[in-house]
C-alpha cells in the first residue's frame, strides 16, 4: 500500500534528527534521508535524477560565490595578525573604563568580526590575545573567558557573515539586504555586552580593574593598525548600500585589500598558502552541507510537510508574538545539540513558511534566528565557543567558562527582546537601501 507523502515527510524528519543525534554528519544524514524520501514518493528513476542534478544546479548560483570570498577575508585577517592590532587600539581607547580590558575585547572582537565572519575563529584568536592581558591585570578568569566566548558570537551578525548568506540562499532573500540588516543588531549586541561588563565592574571592582596611563599620542598611534577593518567595512557597506557592486564583488575587493594590507603587515607566502588552504577546506565543508540539506529540502517539498506545518501554526489560537517566542525557544533547545549551519538548513524549510504566514518580515526573522544561533554558541552542553576557549586555554576549566558566559546569556535574551519589540532596529538600514 502506498504511504501518504505527508507521513513519509514526518518519518524522514524523525529519521534525520535521530541520525544527527547519533553523530552522523549533517550532510550525510540529510542526503541519505532526502534521497530515500524522494525515491519513495516519486519513484527510483525520477527521484535519483532529481537528486543527481541538485549539487550542480545549486553550486552554479551566483549568490553562493560570496561565501568563499568572505571566508578568505577572515583567514587573511587572522594570518595577518589584525586581531592584535584591534585589541591594542581598543585597550588604549576604552581601557580606562571599569572592566575596560573586557570592554576592549568586545569592541575588538566586533571589529574583527567585520573581517572574519567566523565565530569560533574569533573566539580562538582572542583567547590567545586578550585573555593573557586580562589575567595579567588581575581580571577574574571567569569574566575573561566568558567575554571572549561571548564576543566571538558577534561574527554571526556583523557582516561579512556566512550564516546570513546561508539564510538568504535558503529563503531566497536578498544577500545584500540581510548583510546590511545585521550591522545595527551587531553593534547593539556589542554595546549591551559592554554595558553589562561596566555595570558588573562598578559593583565589584575586583572583577576587572581599569587600565590607565595611555597618552593621546599613544592612542592615535594605535589607529593605523585598524585600517584593514575600516577598509573592509567601508568597501562592503558602500558597495551594497550604494549599489555599485554585488556582495560577491565587494567580498572579492575586500579580500584583495586585506591581502595587500596583510603583506604590508608582514604576512609571508607560507601564511598565504595556509589561508588559501583553510578557505578551500571550509568552503567545501559548507557547500557539502548545503548540497545535502537541499536534497532534504526537495524531499520535504514533495512530502508537503512545510505547508502542513504552516497551516497548523496559523491555526493555533495564540497571538503571533507568542508563537514566535515559542519557535525561538525551539531554536534555543535545538541549538544545544546541533551546529549553527545544520540547524538553519534543517529547520528553515519547515518553519519559514509559517513565520511568513504570520505576517513577519523575512529579513527581520533572519536576524532574530541568527541571534539565536549566537546564543546557542555559548550555551551548554554544546556551547562551541566555550569549548574553543577551553581548548586554547586549558588552564581555565570548562565549568568556569560556562559560568563566565552567564551574564552575557542574559544580555542576549534582553537583546532578542529588544529586536522583537522594536523591529526597526533591524529593518531601518535595509529599508534605506531599498528606498
Q: Which residues contact 142 (CB under 8 A, 6 or more apart)?
A: 400, 401, 403, 404
Taking alpha carbons only, the member of 370, 389, 405 closest to residue 159 is: 370
Question: In this structure, what C-alpha cell is assigned to residue 4?
Answer: 501518504
Q: What is the pLDDT of residue 245?
A: 84
The verdict on residue 208 lying in a domain is: yes
- Give how far the C-alpha of residue 385 lies from the chain's centroid of Cα atoms, to the nearest Å: 12
Question: In this structure, what C-alpha cell is assigned to residue 18?
Answer: 535521530
Cβ atoms of 73 and 117 closer than 8 Å = yes
The verdict on residue 48 lying in a domain is: no
The verdict on residue 223 lying in a domain is: yes
pLDDT band at 7 (very low <50, low <70, confident <90, very high): very high
DSSP string, 297-337: HHHHHHHTHHHHHHHHHHTSSS-HHHHHHHHHHHHHHHTTT
The verdict on residue 277 lying in a domain is: no
pLDDT in tens, 395-431: 999 999 999 999 999 999 999 999 999 999 999 998 8
Please name the residue that has the C-alpha cell 540539506.
Answer: 293
The verdict on residue 262 lying in a domain is: yes
The verdict on residue 295 lying in a domain is: no
- If you average pLDDT over residues 212-221, what whole number do you get? 89
Cα 421 to Cα 254: distance, rounded to the nearest angstrom:
34
Q: What is the pLDDT of residue 384?
A: 80
pLDDT in tens, 120-172: 778 888 898 899 999 999 999 999 999 999 998 998 888 878 888 888 888 88
Cα 31 to Cα 39: distance, rounded to the nearest angstrom:
12
- Give how far the C-alpha of residue 236 lies from the chain's centroid of Cα atoms, to the nearest Å: 17
- If you average pLDDT over residues 358-376, what whole number do you get? 91
The verdict on residue 19 lying in a domain is: no
- If you average pLDDT over residues 173-197, what whole number do you get? 92
Cβ atoms of 196 and 408 closer than 8 Å = yes
Q: Is 160 left (phi over 0), alpha (psi -120 to 50) or beta?
A: beta
pLDDT band at 2 (very low <50, low <70, confident <90, very high): low
Domain with 338, as residue range(s), is 65-267+304-434
Q: What is the pLDDT of residue 101?
A: 95
Q: 18-27, 46-55, 303-312, 360-369 — which is least confidently predicted?
A: 18-27
The verdict on residue 60 lying in a domain is: no
Q: What is the DSSP letter of 98?
A: T
Q: What is the DSSP letter of 224?
A: G
CA atoms in the 13 A half-sphere facing the CB of 328: 23
Instruction: Count how many domains the chain has.
Output: 1
Q: What is the pLDDT of residue 213?
A: 83
- If you average pLDDT over residues 10-39, what whole number do you get? 87
Q: How much is the pTM?
A: 0.85
CA distances from 423 to 59, 152, 416 (A): 33, 24, 10
Amino acid at each position: 500500500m502506498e504511504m501518504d507523502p505527508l507521513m513519509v515527510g514526518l518519518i524522514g524528519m524523525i529519521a534525520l534528527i535521530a541520525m544527527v543525534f547519533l553523530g552522523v554528519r549533517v550532510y550525510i544524514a540529510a542526503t541519505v534521508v532526502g534521497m530515500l524520501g524522494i525515491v519513495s514518493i516519486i519513484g527510483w528513476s525520477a527521484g535519483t535524477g532529481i537528486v543527481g542534478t541538485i549539487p550542480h544546479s545549486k553550486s552554479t548560483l551566483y549568490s553562493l560565490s560570496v561565501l568563499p570570498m568572505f571566508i578568505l577575508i577572515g583567514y587573511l585577517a587572522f594570518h595577518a595578525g589584525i586581531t592584535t592590532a584591534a585589541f591594542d587600539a581598543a585597550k588604549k581607547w576604552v581601557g580606562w573604563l571599569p572592566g575596560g580590558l573586557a570592554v576592549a575585547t568586545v569592541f575588538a572582537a566586533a571589529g574583527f568580526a567585520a573581517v572574519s565572519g567566523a565565530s569560533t575563529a574569533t573566539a580562538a584568536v582572542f583567547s590567545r590575545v586578550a585573555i593573557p592581558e586580562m589575567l595579567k591585570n588581575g581580571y577574574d578568569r571567569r569574566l575573561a573567558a566568558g567575554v571572549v566566548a561571548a564576543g566571538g558570537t558577534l561574527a554571526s551578525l556583523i557582516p561579512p557573515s556566512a550564516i546570513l548568506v546561508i539564510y538568504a540562499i535558503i529563503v531566497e532573500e536578498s544577500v545584500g539586504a540581510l548583510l546590511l540588516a545585521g550591522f545595527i543588531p551587531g553593534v547593539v549586541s556589542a554595546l549591551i555586552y559592554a554595558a553589562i561588563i561596566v555595570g558588573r565592574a562598578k559593583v565589584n571592582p575586583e572583577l576587572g580593574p581599569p587600565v590607565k596611563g595611555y597618552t593621546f599620542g599613544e592612542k592615535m598611534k594605535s589607529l593605523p593598525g585598524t585600517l584593514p577593518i575600516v577598509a573592509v567595512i567601508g568597501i562592503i557597506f558602500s558597495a551594497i548600500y550604494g549599489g555599485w557592486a554585488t556582495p560577491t564583488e565587494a567580498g572579492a575587493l575586500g579580500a584583495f585589500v586585506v591581502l595587500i594590507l596583510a603583506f604590508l603587515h608582514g604576512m609571508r607566502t607560507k601564511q598565504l598558502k595556509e589561508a588559501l588552504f583553510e578557505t578551500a577546506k571550509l568552503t567545501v565543508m559548507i557547500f557539502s552541507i548545503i548540497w545535502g540539506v537541499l536534497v532534504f529540502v526537495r524531499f520535504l517539498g514533495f512530502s508537503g510537510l512545510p505547508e502542513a506545518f504552516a497551516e497548523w501554526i496559523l491555526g493555533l489560537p495564540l497571538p503571533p508574538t507568542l508563537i514566535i517566542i515559542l519557535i525561538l525557544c525551539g531554536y534555543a533547545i535545538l541549538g544545544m545539540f546541533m551546529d549553527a549551519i545544520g540547524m538553519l538548513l534543517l529547520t528553515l524549510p519547515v518553519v519559514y513558511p509559517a513565520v511568513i504566514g504570520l505576517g513577519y518580515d523575512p529579513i527581520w526573522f533572519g536576524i532574530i534566528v541568527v541571534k539565536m544561533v549566537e546564543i546557542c554558541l555559548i550555551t551548554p552542553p554544546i556551547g562551541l565557543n566555550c569549548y574553543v576557549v577551553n581548548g586554547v586555554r586549558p588552564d581555565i576549566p570548562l565549568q568556569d567558562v560556562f559560568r563566565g558566559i552567564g551574564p552575557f546569556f542574559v544580555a542576549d535574551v534582553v537583546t532578542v527582546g529588544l529586536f522583537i519589540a522594536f523591529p526597526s532596529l533591524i529593518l531601518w538600514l535595509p529599508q534605506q537601501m531599498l528606498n
